[in-house]
Amino acid sequence: MAKQLVKGNEALMKGAILAGCRAFYGYPITPANEIAEAAAAYLPPVGGVFLQAESEVAAINMVFGAASAGVRAMTASSGPGISLMGEGISYLAGAELPCVIADITRGGPGLGNIAPEQSDYFQVVKGGGHGSYRTLVLAPASAQEMCDLTFDAFELAAHYRNPVIVMADGFIGQMMEPVEFPREAKLPPPPEWAVLGDARTRPNLITSIYLEPDALEAHIRKLDAKYQRMQRESVRCENYMTEDAELVFVGYGIVSRVLKSAVNRLRNEGIRAGLVRPVTLFPFPTEQIRAAARTAQTFFVVEMSTGQMVEDVRLALAGMRPVEFYGRCGGNSPSAEEIVEKAMEVMAHV
């Protein structure tokens, strides 16, 4: 398939359809609206379903129903909508139902504004719903990855029987870039555990309620074992010039692209800089960050927030190296120039 110049949001939806997504339920919110618009345009021609729900609460529960029937289903929203979906996401994880949820992050708290931020990290990565559950979280850094990682998200969701969140900032969702789409689409049959409303699947039971404490504990232990398996099997990250780096940046999404420019500029100034970009925010690339500490004297986390992922970087390093932080928020993004300036100040004191 020839490359197409498309917005990141549209690339995400096209990747979802090529991965076998045949149901989308959502409610409008900026800066994620193009995902729903693309779903409305492209799903019906391939036999899929698009439905604008009456709210985000309704949308996530419709996803629950479709996933129970073995349909590859998804929804998309931004911070305030993801907050409303929190209970439903917890139910999906508890019932071990695969689905994909896109969060195109915007400024907060409250209504905030419609400009890009990365302040949903705590909500999405740590779990905004109740109970002991986790979701895989993928963080694209380009329109191409909006397609590719969403395609992968459906495969991961099916493999682990778990919700997967694609978390992108508003910049990535709104920017237009050339995207090359997969040449082959997937449309797997309903899984054996699905409830299809026929005699064969009548014994199947999709639930997250276990009223007897020992039964619930056994279920939670089973889920936890799955999350630990995700951490062993599904970590993804990108290393950029970390082989000899004395200063290692850590950033994801649009920030990682700015950090690559900062790395190149600092190298020209004689400072050996590098970048670790988490592609999965859960599972988090703890070992990859620790490996960079072999040469690094200092780590420098940059986020479009007042600091959320920085806590996981500090936990990963466990005091092995100092961790500096720089953040912009409110819809502002850090420039390569200001990051270089801050990094020069940090290195002057090392």
What CATH number does the domain located at 238-348 have?
A: 3.40.50.920
- Encode burial over 51-66: b for 16+ CB neighbours within 10 A, e otherwise: bebeebbbbbbbbbeb
Q: Residue 1 pLDDT > 80, yes or no?
A: no
- What is the pLDDT, as a whole number, of residue 240? 98
Average of per-residue pLDDT across 218-226: 98
Q: Residue 343 pLDDT > 80, yes or no?
A: yes
Superfamily of domain 4-233: Thiamin diphosphate (ThDP)-binding fold, Pyr/PP domains (3.40.50.970)
What is the pLDDT confidence band of residue 350, given thresholds at 50, 70 and 90? confident
State the angle between helix axes of 8-18 and 143-160 in degrees (0 to 180), rounded to the nearest 10: 40
| pTM assigned to the model | 0.96
- What is the pLDDT, as a whole number, of residue 263? 98
Q: Residue 74 forms beta bridges with which residues? A: 24, 100
Average of per-residue pLDDT across 136-162: 98
Reported as a single tens digit per residue, the pLDDT across 249-299 is: 999 999 999 999 999 999 999 999 999 999 999 999 999 999 999 999 999
- What is the pLDDT, as a whole number, of residue 93? 98
The domains of the chain are located at 4-233, 238-348
How many CA atoms within 13 Å lie on the side-chain side of 293? 15
Instruction: Report the distance separating Cα 119 and Cα 306, nearest Å.
Output: 8
Reported as a single tens digit per residue, the pLDDT across 23-76 is: 999 999 999 999 999 999 999 999 999 999 999 999 999 999 999 999 999 999
Task: Name 232's Cβ contacts closer than 8 Å, sequence gap at least 6.
Answer: none
Reported as a single tens digit per residue, the pLDDT across 60-75 is: 999 999 999 999 999 9
Instruction: Report the distance separating Cα 195 and Cα 175, nearest Å.
Output: 39
Task: Name 322's Cβ contacts closer than 8 Å, sequence gap at least 6.
Answer: 298, 299
- The amino acid present at 209, given as its one-letter code, is I
Q: What percent of the chain has pLDDT over 90?
A: 97
In eight-state DSSP terms, residue 44 is: G
